[in-house]
Amino acid sequence: MHIPFLGHWRKKHGPAPGVAVLSAGEDEGDDNDRERHERIAELLSECELLRAQAQQAGVELDDSADSLEALDQLVPRWRDDEETAAWLGNDAGLYLGTVVVRTVAGARWEIRPNGRPAVRLASGREIDVVEAGHEWADNGAPELSQLYAEIAEG
């Protein structure tokens, strides 16, 4: 759907803020905490639009660092459609987070007080992967594989 005035609004206000995940109350213990993190990780790893775009281009998203390199090589046809770019930016960020959580020791999803997901590393560093996904979808930089390499190093 193309809405002309929305493009002007986005230029003034920036991209859509991304996804929000709301958590239900306090944790009740280690088992519940682990189970909650697993459910959140499963939900955030869906990335349906990104997976569909990748599949159409013949790219398999297997939650590996190599798949991030393959995504970086896609021709960015989505940039012609601002609505698709916004959704794809969310999905790209969530996919990057999924790869980090599944492959970097001690990394896990963290839900910020505003409901927006981020990845927290064992060092305590927090990465706003959704913002990174939007930058990638809009500009192609930083590349997802490059950002992953930087995250995995430190």
Radius of gyration of the chain (CA): 16
Residues 6+ apart with CB under 8 A from 3: none
How would you class 75 by CB atoms within 10 Å of its CB: exposed for 0-12, middle for 13-18, buried for 19 or more?
Answer: exposed
What is residue 126's predicted lDDT score, i.e. its pLDDT?
Answer: 96
CB 91 within 8 A of CB 80: no
10-residue mean pLDDT profile of the chain (154 residues): values are: 43 48 48 81 89 93 96 89 90 96 95 92 96 94 95 89
What is residue 32's predicted lDDT score, i.e. its pLDDT?
Answer: 79
Q: Where are the alpha helices (DSSP H) in 45-143?
A: 48-56, 65-72, 82-103, 129-139
Looking only at Cα atoms, what is the longest distance across the chain? 50
Residues 6+ apart with CB under 8 A from 86: 15, 16, 134, 137
What is residue 35's predicted lDDT score, i.e. its pLDDT?
Answer: 85
Can you tell me whether residue 109 is helix, strand or coil? strand
What is residue 29's predicted lDDT score, i.e. its pLDDT?
Answer: 56
CB 78 within 8 A of CB 88: yes
Cα(25)–Cα(37) distance, integer angstroms: 14
What is residue 137's predicted lDDT score, i.e. its pLDDT?
Answer: 93
